[in-house]
């Protein structure tokens, strides 16, 4: 697929890309697949090259998921902090892949870890993006009991993003799981209230409510579609957009 697009014709200029930790596993059952991380990094580089300002939040489920740890008897806050540390590992892996492609990158962590990355400072992050750097936000919100989805909505709000891009396993939101139900239909558009009232599993409710309150559309697309990220930025790719009101 052609990546298409040129500077000036983007539907969304400044975006936060949310990627699950599981997306970094590739075909493996655990951990980080370097080839998969490299492919996603190339998608991000293409977006930067056509003028998009990009920041990222990456989950940690490929290494450790706080809720899973809590379900096995761990104290929830401790399990969540472990999950936050997993997101830092993923952020450093993505930084390494992006800088290997010549993309200037900064990692900012909500849990200070000065030896490996910057602490999260909002004004500094905004300045990095204005200079064309990709900023990767790690360690969630820095607080237990909040998911990386909520962290993504929070950082998108703080950065003044035009959209929150949710890279998933499928090319949008469907009436049912398209992998198991061939009759499932894809939504083109939904409102925030549609997602909340129908309990659609796009992002957790607090993330959706935060995006709604700050009027930041959520765009759900396939992170595995070659050129998909740039196509969605251009407004031509397959996706579902969640916004305040339907067209």
175 annotated as a binding-site residue:
no
Task: Please check the confidence at residue 187 and state whether its pLDDT lies above 90.
Answer: yes
Residue 142 pLDDT greater than 70, yes or no: yes
pLDDT > 70: what percent of the chain?
A: 96
Q: What is the mean pLDDT of residues 135-157?
A: 97
> CA-to-CA distance for 146 and 142, rounded, in angstroms?
9
Q: Is 221 annotated as a binding residue?
A: no
Question: What pLDDT was estimated at residue 107?
Answer: 98
Q: Is 69 annotated as a binding residue?
A: no
60 is in an annotated binding site: yes
| Average pLDDT for the chain | 93
Do the annotations mark residue 12 as ligand-binding? Answer: no
The size of the chain, in residues, is 247
Q: Can you tell me the distance from the alpha carbon of 154 to that of 204, in angstroms, rounded to the nearest whole number?
A: 13
DSSP code string of 132-183: T-EEEEESTTSSTT--HHHHHHHHHHHHT-SEEEEEESSSS-BSS-TTT-TT
pLDDT tier for residue 246 given thresholds of 50, 70 and 90: low
177 is in an annotated binding site: yes
Q: According to the model, what pLDDT value does residue 3 have?
A: 46
Please report, for the chain, the start and end positions of each structural domain, with discontinuous segments joined by +.
Answer: 14-243
pLDDT tens figures, 41-67: 999 999 999 999 999 999 999 999 888
Question: 178 pLDDT band (50/70/90 cuts)?
Answer: confident
Q: What's the CATH fold of domain 14-243?
A: Carbamate kinase (3.40.1160)
146 is known to lie in a ligand binding site:
yes
Q: Is it the case that residue 94 has pLDDT exceeding 50?
A: yes
120 marked ligand binding residue:
no
Q: How far apart are CA 50 and CA 230, in angstroms?
A: 8
pLDDT above 90: residue 191: yes
Of the chain, the percentage scoring pLDDT greater than 90 comes to 85
Query: Is 20 assigned to a binding site?
Result: yes
pLDDT (0 to 100) of residue 8: 58
Q: What is the pLDDT of residue 2?
A: 40
Q: Between these two residues, 111 and 6, which has the higher pLDDT value?
A: 111
> Is 169 annotated as a binding-site member?
yes
């Amino acid at each position: 697929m052609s990546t298409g697009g040129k500077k000036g014709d983007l539907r969304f200029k400044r975006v936060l890309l949310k990627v699950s930790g599981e997306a970094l596993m590739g075909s493996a059952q655990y951990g980080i697949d370097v080839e998969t991380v490299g492919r996603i990094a190339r998608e991000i580089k293409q977006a930067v090259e056509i003028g998009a300002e990009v920041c990222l939040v990456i989950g940690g489920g490929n290494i450790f998921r706080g809720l899973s740890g809590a379900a096995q008897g761990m104290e929830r806050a401790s399990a969540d902090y472990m999950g936050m540390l997993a997101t830092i590992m993923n952020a450093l892996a993505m930084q390494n892949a992006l800088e290997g492609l010549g993309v200037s990158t900064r990692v900012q962590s909500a849990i200070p870890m000065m030896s490996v990355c910057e602490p999260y400072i909002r004004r500094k992050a905004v300045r990095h993006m204005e200079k064309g750097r990709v900023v990767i936000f790690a360690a969630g919100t820095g607080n237990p009991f909040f998911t990386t989805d909520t962290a993504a909505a929070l950082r998108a709000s703080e950065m003044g993003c035009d959209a929150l891009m949710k890279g998933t396993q499928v090319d949008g939101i469907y009436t049912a799981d398209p992998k198991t139900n061939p009759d499932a239909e894809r939504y083109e558009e939904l409102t925030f209230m549609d997602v909340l009232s129908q309990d659609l599993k796009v992002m957790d409710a607090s993330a959706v409510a935060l995006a709604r309150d700050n009027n930041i559309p959520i765009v759900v697309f396939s992170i595995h579609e070659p050129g998909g990220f740039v196509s969605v930025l251009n407004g031509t790719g397959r996706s579902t957009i969640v916004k305040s009101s339907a067209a």
